[in-house]
Amino acid sequence: MTTAIMRQKMYEYIKFADAKKIKAMYTIIADDGNNLTPWQEDSKLLEKVVRTDADMESGKDEGIVWGKAKKQLLSRGKK
């Protein structure tokens, strides 16, 4: 079963589930989904990510395609 199908089935289930089941599911998900990693709390890093994203959207920064980045990273490991 694909993730998309599972997501749709869960959506349909949650849509009609009783309050007790919703609370139980939320308890499981809330513990996992609300934890921020240290980089998500770093405001300077997040500002830099937003600026870089804007520069790439505007064409100011060309970025690098994944294939080229991967090749560079793999070549570093061989040295």
pLDDT, tens digit only, all 79 positions of the chain: 899 999 999 999 999 999 999 998 888 887 665 566 777 788 899 899 999 989 988 999 988 889 999 999 999 877 6
Q: Could you tell me the residue range of the domain that residue 53 belongs to?
A: 38-79
Number of domains the chain contains: 2
Name the DSSP class of 25. H
Specify whether 56 is located in the same domain as 74: yes
pLDDT at 58: 93
pTM: predicted TM-score of the whole model, two decimal places: 0.40
Locate 20 and state its tokens. Answer: 């007790």
Locate 32 and state its tokens. Answer: 């996992």
Specify whether 55 is located in the same domain as 79: yes
Specify whether 7 is located in the same domain as 22: yes
Specify whether 47 is located in the same domain as 68: yes
pLDDT at 30: 77
Specify whether 43 is located in the same domain as 15: no
Locate 66 and state its tokens. Answer: 């994944």
pLDDT at 28: 83
Specify whether 76 is located in the same domain as 43: yes
